[in-house]
Chains A and B, each alone.
Chain A
Amino acid sequence: MKLLTDRHPLLIVVGSGGVGKTTLAASLGVVSAQQGRDTLVMTFDPSLRLKDALGVGAEAKERAVRVETSTRGRLDASLLDARGTFDKLVERYAPDDEARDRILGNRFYRHLAGNLAGILEYMAVEKLFEVAQKGEYRQVILDTPPTRQALDFLEAPQRIVSFLDSGALKIALKSWFDDEGRLKATSKLGFLGRRFERFLDDIVGLDLLRDMAEFFQAFGPLFDGFRERAQKVQKLLHSKQTLFVLVSGPGEERIPDTLFFARRLQEGGFPLGPVVVNRFHPMEAVPAGDPDAAAGGDPCTVDGRRLLSWLAERDREGLEQLAGLLAGRPLAALPLLPREPTSLPALEAMGRELLDRLG
């Protein structure tokens, strides 16, 4: 299958942590630019050497940075900064400076280290939408957050919309407290209300509730713009322009993870493209000689020949099983390389290899 064509101007690379998503996203970016297409790679947390290879530093959080290459198309890279994006969104949609400052200065907002209704994950998608709308690039490649539940971010737009539509928000948007600082809703309820108020105060403390209520009220004027945008983002993720590339580690133990991801994507109606098994131990790279000759004795000093031959066999079996379970879905495997690809030529070679193997 063809991966880099104008049919899918958005590629989204997903998979569990530590499987090499970022490197793969970068390598596809280099090849895409080499093919003469203006390309943007958006990434979360690249390694130092990959950052060096792409030549991006902290300024890539602010804007896309040009990568120094001789590719025919332009290659830009940017780093995703969820907090910064959120702040900017607040600035954009706040009706006036006072409303903006009220939100940015709110204690609840500042401590929003947890993830209210997936809002921070949503910011990644939001950023993607912004780029897609500008239409500056022919190819955008998004690397996704390195979490076990990396797919949460896909559901983020849906969750934001349902949160905005839910009763929770309507309650939150009411002014909760009267002039004396008592909960309004409960002061009408007499004894029962006081009991509920005491319970709330006991459980979370009224101060926190006050902060939260203030946050939602301050956020109120932003919601319409926000909601509309979340719906558009959701549409974009499901559209034909988008294609998901699912990256997996090698070996049988990774298969459940990969199937889990594939199923979630399909059930969610997201356009799933190829599955890429990364860094498998190739049969061609099993050293010659009888591996079993070196077996036995101390379990902690294994002969490398025996280890590599075992790993190659394990990865071959895993790949075979996965191919069977994925039933005809495009699948490509990339071998573990003697060196990690961290230079532009090495990235390009990796990207080309992937396209070749996909046929």
Chain B
Amino acid sequence: MSTDLLERLASRKLLVVTGKGGVGKTSVTAVLGRLLATSRRRVLVFEVDPRENLHQMLGIPPSGGEVTEAGRGLFLQNLKPRQVLDSIVRERLKLEALARRVLESPVYRHFSEGAPGLKEVGILGHALRLLRGIGRRGKPMDLVILDAPATGHGVSLLTAPRLLSEVIEKGPFGDMGRELSEFVSDPGQVAVVVVTGAEEMPVDEALELRQSLRERFGREPELLVVNGLYPPYPAEGESPQEDEGMRLWRRRRRLNEKELARLVASWDGPRVELPKLPMDRGPELVNALVTCFRAQLQERTA
């Protein structure tokens, strides 16, 4: 199954990387980007956060909202959901003055803050535009990997288009809602990657996430990444006398193993485990994790 895993991921149009805050979604997004981008496959990692982080993992300057190249076949963009919505209004209203008045009006501001699911739809809509090529000269991307915002569950991102198309029946937002609703419910095009740590809260959240994916979409995450594992503790007899540090290592590892077991007991899909490494956030760490990721795939094939 495992050699195909990368191919299966690469055959999608959009990967939604989701999980609880602080588990390393951004690192995993960067790792997947490096793994899947080739000279023949254009991959864009997409971050929606007021403060940029992904560029640091890829070793390039902040993208400042533009599509920026980060190595062979790999691109990066950071956007705010607002910017996406505003550009839709601008496209609709050819007159710049009129567009400005609409965009600056408090009614529009409060509406775009409050309308159910609009921000999420903006994010997905932008991903779709990237896949089609923005503007006349924008070359389309083959795959977009979304570092999903930590707020709320990844599922609410996926259900947003349906919600929006129910509330807004007509017009560009309504059309966009319907189109995206079809897009995200196609498992051949959109896959979910769940990232978690092997600790109680992240595992709870990962299990909940999977449950609601099942209930609301009738589907499974394509991949589970368990991140930040303490290394295996030496077997009895091999370990030196236990001091405070060894005890911390042993207990932390045991906690990882226990939570991992709980996770695996109800999750038989593809899974990759990534170690906690003594490296600062940055391209070096991403490269090491890419190596560990690949090694695990080979191990399982063997």
Q: Is B49 interfacial (CB-CB < 8 Å)?
A: yes
Shortest distance between the CB of B96 and any CB in chain A (Å): 15
Interface of B is mostly: helix
Is there contact, CB below 8 Å, between A307 and B170? Answer: no
Measured CA separation A205–B277 after assembly (Å): 52
Residues from chain A with Cβ under 8 Å of B149 in the complex: 148
Is there contact, CB below 8 Å, between B200 and A47? Answer: yes
Shortest distance between the CB of B25 and any CB in chain A (Å): 11
Residues from chain B with Cβ under 8 Å of A271 in the complex: none
Measured CA separation A307–B246 after assembly (Å): 11
Contacts A117-B113, A148-B21, A253-B280: A201 and B171 contacting too (C-beta < 8 A)? yes
Shortest distance between the CB of A263 and any CB in chain B (Å): 13
Is there contact, CB below 8 Å, between B116 and A171? Answer: no
Is there contact, CB below 8 Å, between A113 and B200? Answer: no
Binary per-residue interface labels of chain B (270-281) against chain A in the complex, 1 for a CB within 8 Å, 0 otherwise:
000001111011
Those of A289-308 within 8 Å (CB) of chain B: 289, 298-308
Binary per-residue interface labels of chain A (94-120) against chain B in the complex, 1 for a CB within 8 Å, 0 otherwise:
000000000000011001111111000
Measured CA separation A284–B277 after assembly (Å): 20
Residues of chain B at the chain A interface (Cβ within 8 Å) = 20-23, 49-51, 89, 92-93, 106-107, 109-111, 113-119, 149-151, 156, 163, 166-174, 199-202, 204, 230-231, 233, 240, 243-253, 255, 275-278, 280-281, 288, 291-292, 295
Q: Is A172 interfacial (CB-CB < 8 Å)?
A: yes
Residues from chain A with Cβ under 8 Å of B244 in the complex: 284-285
The residue of chain B having its C-beta at the shortest distance from the C-beta of A291 within the complex is B278
Extra contacts besides A18-B202, A167-B106 (10): CB < 8 Å: A18-B22, A114-B114, A167-B107, A168-B110, A252-B280, A286-B245, A302-B276, A314-B280, A336-B248, A338-B252
Shortest distance between the CB of A328 and any CB in chain B (Å): 26
Residues from chain A with Cβ under 8 Å of B106 in the complex: 166-168
Is there contact, CB below 8 Å, between B170 and A114? Answer: no
The residue of chain B having its C-beta at the shortest distance from the C-beta of A163 within the complex is B110
Q: Is A16 interfacial (CB-CB < 8 Å)?
A: yes
Measured CA separation A167–B106 after assembly (Å): 7
Shortest distance between the CB of B245 and any CB in chain A (Å): 3
Contacts A16-B22, A204-B168: A168 and B107 contacting too (C-beta < 8 A)? yes
Is there contact, CB below 8 Å, between B255 and A208? Answer: no
A: number of interface residues (CB 8 Å): 67
Nearest 9 Cβ contacts at the A-B interface: A17-B21, A18-B22, A116-B114, A287-B245, A310-B278, A338-B251, A168-B106, A300-B292, A304-B249
The residue of chain B having its C-beta at the shortest distance from the C-beta of A209 within the complex is B111
Binary per-residue interface labels of chain A (255-266) against chain B in the complex, 1 for a CB within 8 Å, 0 otherwise:
010001000000
Measured CA separation A287–B250 after assembly (Å): 11
Residue among B172, B202, B277 making CB contact with A203, cutoff 8 Å: B172
Residues from chain B with Cβ under 8 Å of A113 in the complex: 116-117, 156, 163
The residue of chain B having its C-beta at the shortest distance from the C-beta of A336 within the complex is B248
Residues from chain A with Cβ under 8 Å of B168 in the complex: 204-205, 207-208
Q: Is A212 interfacial (CB-CB < 8 Å)?
A: yes
Residues of chain A at the chain B interface (Cβ within 8 Å) = 16-19, 47-49, 107-108, 111-117, 146-149, 163, 166-168, 171-172, 199, 201-205, 207-208, 211-212, 249, 252-253, 256, 260, 281, 284-289, 298-308, 310-311, 314, 336, 338-340, 342
The contact sample of 19 A-B pairs, CB cut-off 8 A, is A17-B22, A18-B22, A108-B167, A117-B114, A148-B49, A148-B149, A203-B89, A205-B174, A208-B167, A208-B168, A253-B280, A260-B51, A285-B247, A287-B243, A287-B246, A288-B243, A301-B275, A302-B276, A338-B247
Q: Which of B20, B118, B151 has the most CB of A within 10 A?
A: B151
Contacts A48-B200, A113-B156: A171 and B107 contacting too (C-beta < 8 A)? yes
The residue of chain A having its C-beta at the shortest distance from the C-beta of B294 within the complex is A300
Q: Which of B202, B233, B248, B253 has the most CB of A within 10 A?
A: B248
Residue among A114, A249, A339, A342 making CB contact with B118, cutoff 8 Å: A114
Measured CA separation A149–B110 after assembly (Å): 18
Residue among A253, A304, A306 making CB contact with B281, cutoff 8 Å: A253
Residues from chain B with Cβ under 8 Å of A252 in the complex: 280
Measured CA separation A278–B31 after assembly (Å): 27
Measured CA separation A287–B239 after assembly (Å): 11
Is there contact, CB below 8 Å, between A17 and B20? Answer: yes
Residue among B93, B117, B172, B277 making CB contact with A114, cutoff 8 Å: B117
Residues from chain A with Cβ under 8 Å of B111 in the complex: 204, 212
Is there contact, CB below 8 Å, between B278 and A339? Answer: no
Shortest distance between the CB of B259 and any CB in chain A (Å): 10
Q: Which of A49, A114, A281 has the most CB of B within 10 A?
A: A114
Is there contact, CB below 8 Å, between A205 and B150? Answer: no
Contacts A114-B115, A287-B245: A17 and B150 contacting too (C-beta < 8 A)? yes
Measured CA separation A166–B107 after assembly (Å): 9
Q: Which of B89, B167, B170 has the most CB of A within 10 A?
A: B167
